[in-house]
Amino acid sequence: MGSSFSEIFHLSRNRSRFLWIVAIICFIILFISFALYQHSLLSAIRKRSSPLTTLSQLNIARKYKMEQEENIIGNDDRSHDNNVQHTTTNDATTSSKSNPNTVADIATKSNTELSHPFHPYAHIFYYAWYRNEKFDGKYEHWNHKVLPHWTKHTNDQYSHLIGKPHDPNKLELATNFFPSRGAYSSTDRETVLEQFKEIRKANVHVIVLSWWGVFEADENGSNTELITPFIMKCAEEVGLQVIFHMEPYPKRSAESIKRDVMYVIDTYGKSPAFFRFNGKPLFYFYDSYILSSVEWRKILSPDSSQTLRNTPYDAIFIGLYLNSGMRNTLKESNFDGFYTYFAADRFTEGSTCSNWKEINEWASSNHLLFIPSVAPGYIDEKIRPWNSANTKPRNDGKYYENMFNTALSLTPLPSFITITSYNEWHEGTQIEPAIPKNIPESEDAFSRAATKYLDYLPHDPEYYLKLTADYIQKYVSQFTTSSK
C-alpha cells in the first residue's frame, strides 16, 4: 500500500508539473497573439485601413507622426508660441518675450532677402502630394492616370487615353505645363524651402495646405498628414504661416470634422507657422456642401452640445460657395464665411468674376466673409482630356490680371483673397515657375499627347510670381488704407 501511495504521489507531482508547463505555454501563446494583434492594429492604422474613431487613435497617430518626422527631417526639440498679432491657445506656456522664434521675428529676419513685410491677407493653395523615385522610391501625382468621363459615349472617344498612367521617366507628366524643377518631390527639403521663399517673394505669407485627415489619403493614395510636420518646420524656417485646407475624405461627418479640428489645433497650434487671425485659427472646408446644414450646426452652432464655438477649438470656419442656392445653407450651417476656389471663370456662379460684386454685397449684409479666389488660368486636359470646354487660357497674364482687378474693385474690400494656386499642376492653375519643353514626337498616341507642354512665353518662368507680388502689394495698400 505504501508503494502504491508513492506511485500515486509521484504521478500527481508529474501531472501538476505537466499542467504548469501547459499553462505557461498557453500564456506565452496568448501573449504572442496579443502582441501580434497590436502590431497588426498599428499597421492597419498606419496604412489607413481603419477609419478614425477615437481620441486614443489620435494619440497613436501623433506618436507615429513624430516617428515619421524624425525620418524626414531629423530631431528638432524647438517649441514655439505663436503670438503674431494673435492670442495664444489656452495651453500655451511661453510668451513672445521668452521666445524669439515667432513668425513675426522670422519674417523680419527674412525681410532683407525677401523684401515684403509679413501680412495675413493673401492665402495661396499649396499641394504637398508630389513624390519621385529619387527621394521616395516611387512617383506620385506626376504619374496620375487619365480620368474617365461619366458617360460611355465620351469615354469611347478617349479610349486610347483613359485609365493610362503618365510615365515621368519618359517625361510624360500629368500636367499641361512643365515645372522648372522637373518632377520634384514634396519631401525634398531643399525644394520645399525654395518654394516657400518664392511664395514669400510673391508677397504671400500664408499657404493653404491640402489636408486629407489623419488617416485618409487623396485619390492617388498620398497621406498628407505624414508630411505635415515637415511642411510646418519648413514654413517656420522661411517665415510663412499655414492654414489647413480640409479635404472631403470618404464618410466625413460633423463628428470626424470636430476630431480633425481638435487634432490640428492640439498638434500644430503652438507652432509659429500655425495661422491665427484675431486669436482664432482659420479653416477652409472644400466641398462643404456635401454635409447638410443640420450636420454643420452640430459643431458650429453655439447652442449645440457638440459645438466647437466658445471653446479652445473655436475658429474661423470657411465653407465653399458654388451658387446662390447655397446661401441659406451656408448661413444655417453657421459658417463664418465662404470662398470660391475654382479657377475657371463661369465654371460656377461663385467663380464667375462678374458675380462677385453682388455676392460680396450679400455676404457683407449677412455679416459673412467673402473670400474670392483668383487664378492665372485653368487647363486639366492631361488628366481630363474631355474637359477642354473649361480650359481658360492665360492670355499672357491678362486672365490673372482680370481676376485680381475684379477682386480689388469690390466694396467693401474682402478681408482675405485666396490664390488658386501655387502648385496644382494637374489643373494648370500654378504660379510656380514653368519652362518650355520640346520633346520629339512619339509614334505612340498616348505618349504624343502626354509630352506636349505649354509655357509662360513670352514671359519668363517667374512671371506669375512677380505679377502676384505686384497685385498683392496693391491689395495690402488698399486694405490698410481702407481700414484706417
| pLDDT exceeds 80 at position 331 | yes
Task: Give bridge partners of residue 285 from the DSSP assignment.
Answer: 246
Number of H-type helices and E-type strands within the chain? 14, 11
Percent of the chain with pLDDT over 90: 70
- Provide mean pLDDT across the span 30-34: 54
For residue 114, what pLDDT is reported?
59
Q: What pLDDT band is residue 38 in, cutting at 50, 70 and 90?
A: very low
Helix or strand or coil: residue 398? helix
In the numeric block, the cell 501563446 is attached to 29
Task: Say if CB 316 and CB 369 are below 8 A apart.
Answer: yes
C-alpha cell at position 426: 494637374
**H-only helix segments in 84-223:** 103-114, 133-136, 152-157, 189-201
For residue 33, what pLDDT is reported?
54
Return d(Cα 162, Cα 405) in angstroms, integer: 38
Percent of the chain with pLDDT over 70: 76
Return d(Cα 458, Cα 27) in angstroms, integer: 75
| pLDDT exceeds 50 at position 102 | no
For residue 223, what pLDDT is reported?
87
More confident residue, 47 or 125: 125
Task: Say if CB 92 and CB 225 are below 8 A apart.
Answer: no
Range in 84-88, 425-429, 453-457, 458-462 with the lowest mean pLDDT: 84-88
More confident residue, 1 or 114: 114
| pLDDT exceeds 80 at position 140 | yes
For residue 55, what pLDDT is reported?
45
444-477 pLDDT, tens digit each: 889 988 999 999 999 999 999 999 999 999 999 9
More confident residue, 248 or 17: 248
Range in 1-5, 291-295, 434-438 with the lowest mean pLDDT: 1-5
For residue 314, what pLDDT is reported?
99
For residue 145, what pLDDT is reported?
96
Residue 282 gets the label, from left (phi > 0), alpha (psi -120 to 50) or beta, of beta
Return d(Cα 484, Cα 480) in angstroms, integer: 6
More confident residue, 53 or 366: 366
Task: Give the dihedral sign, CA 290/295/299/302.
Answer: positive
For residue 76, what pLDDT is reported?
39
Return d(Cα 421, Cα 284) in angstroms, integer: 14
* 323: CB partners within 8 A, 6+ apart: 348, 349, 350
Element (H, E) at 453: none
| pLDDT exceeds 60 at position 387 | yes
For residue 422, what pLDDT is reported?
99
| pLDDT exceeds 90 at position 110 | no
Q: What pLDDT band is residue 220 in, cutting at 50, 70 and 90?
A: confident
- Provide mean pLDDT across the span 265-276: 98
For residue 443, what pLDDT is reported?
81
Element (H, E) at 364: helix 356-365
For residue 39, what pLDDT is reported?
40
For residue 85, what pLDDT is reported?
37
C-alpha cell at position 252: 466625413
- Provide mean pLDDT across the span 222-234: 95
Q: What pLDDT band is residue 183 in, cutting at 50, 70 and 90?
A: very high
Query: Hey, which of 47-61, 73-87, 354-368 has the most confident mean pLDDT?
Result: 354-368
